[in-house]
Amino acid sequence: DPLERLCVHESVDEKVPIESFAAALDDLPVPVEIVGDDAGLDETDAVASYRPRDGFIDAGWVHCIRAGYDEFDTEAYEDAGTPLTNSTGIHDTTVGELVVGYMVMFARRLHVYRDKQTRRQWYDPPYDRPFTVDTESVCVVGLGTIGRGVATRASALGMDVVGVRRSDASVEGVSAIYPPDELNEAIGDARFVVLAVPDTPETEGMISTAEFQHMRSDAYLINVARGPVVDEDALISALDDGVIAGAGLDVFRTEPLPESSPLWDFEEVIVSPHQGSTTNCYHRDLAELAEEIFRQYQSGEPLRNRVA
């Protein structure tokens, strides 16, 4: 059945201004409606949502406006035959630039200077602390959209980039690719380890005590993937004990990061509140992708980003 309506679930407003997102979809040949949990849906409806809801399964097509669709029960969608799509493919620049920001901040010590600035303190760092990212090494774990966005930018900064990937096909800007079972070798020489994998049963807790021990003591962990990919207690111990130098974190086991978390207190930890993808154009980028998949559905083509 062709789609006759696109329902934008109210949870979209958690990520982008919902009216702007709906307005950016107004080229579609069907009505676009903002709906709550009580929308009666059938197979002529499409849904775009940030969060999953049980009732979505009755729609003709469900689109998650996030790249990480781990909150959605893909098995239920497969059993029901309802196609589910996600929003990967658009975060190379946004999250890539965030990762560059973390690396340059740590190297050039901007986070420390800003901390001092809030106390009006002029400050000379210990001579051995500042460095340049140029000629340093980065290991990118997961070479999808974000991982490649990081790799090309890091390579442009003069860094040596290695990566972890399930296939051994080469990737632009990456000098060596390791399979997931050689993770410890891959991260062993890196000044920065960047996580860009989805949250799946294989990646959950992928970075824990043993991995921190394989990392250099002057290495920084950067997690822009999902909180559960890192064993957060092991990370806190590794930071406390100086097993690694620091961490740039956009994602956490519990979000918002609880006020009681020790992660707030480390000078060498930069906490960003899961804003890796956020820009003033994000509603437009998300809408363009949703529109493309909508048109594919209407013409019976395979759906881009289909995950169930």
Give me the least distance between CB of 278 and ligand NAD, in Å please.
7
214 part of the active site: no
Q: How many CB atoms lie within 10 A of CB 308?
A: 19
Mention every residue, 6+ apart, whose C-beta is less than 8 A from residue 277: 15, 67, 90, 91, 94, 95
- Token pair for residue 36? 């709550």
CA dihedral 158, 163, 167, 168 (to 10 degrees): 60
CA neighbor of 66 nearest in space, from 82, 52, 78: 52
SS3 content of the chain, % helix, strand, coil (to 5): 35, 15, 50
Which one of 45-53, 141-149, 186-194, 208-216 is the stretch in contact with ligand NAD (CB under 6 A)? Answer: 141-149
Euclidean distance between the first and the last CA atom of the chain, given in angstroms as a whole number: 18
Count CB atoms within 10 A of the CB of residue 27.
Answer: 11
Active-site entry in 255, 295, 301, 304: 255
Helices 145-156, 92-108: inter-axial angle, 10-degree rounding: 40
Q: Least distance (Å) from ligand NAD to the CB of residue 248?
A: 11
Shortest separation between residue 162's beta carbon and ligand NAD, angstroms? 13
Distance separating alpha carbons of residues 148 and 196, to the nearest angstrom: 9
**C-beta closer to ligand NAD: residue 54 or 181:** 181
**Given candidates 49, 82, 88, 137, which one binds ligand NAD under the rule CB under 6 A?**
88
User: What CA–CA distance (Å, rounded) separates 155 from 138?
Assistant: 9
The reply on whether position 142 binds ligand NAD by CB under 6 A is: yes
Catalytic residue among 9, 148, 165, 226: 226
User: Which residue minimizes CB distance to ligand NAD?
Assistant: 144
Task: Fill in the amino acid letter for 48.
Answer: A
Distance in Å, CB of 6 to ligand NAD, minimum: 22
Query: Interface mask (CB under 6 A) for ligand NAD, residues 224-263, using x and -?
Result: xxx-----------------------xx------------
* Binding residue (CB under 6 A) for ligand NAD from 107, 140, 146, 247: 146
Nearer to ligand NAD, 42 or 255 (CB): 255
Pick from 52, 60, 68, 246 the residue near ligand NAD by CB under 6 A.
68
State the nearest-atom distance from the C-beta of 289 to ligand NAD, in Å: 11
Distance CA(94)–CA(96), nearest Å, equals 5
Question: Does residue number 186 form part of the binding site for ligand NAD (CB under 6 A)?
Answer: no
- The residues of the shown chain that bind ligand NAD, judged by CB under 6 A, are 67-68, 88, 91, 95, 142-147, 164-166, 180, 196-200, 202-203, 224-226, 250-251, 274, 276-277
Q: Which residues are catalytic?
A: 226, 255, 274
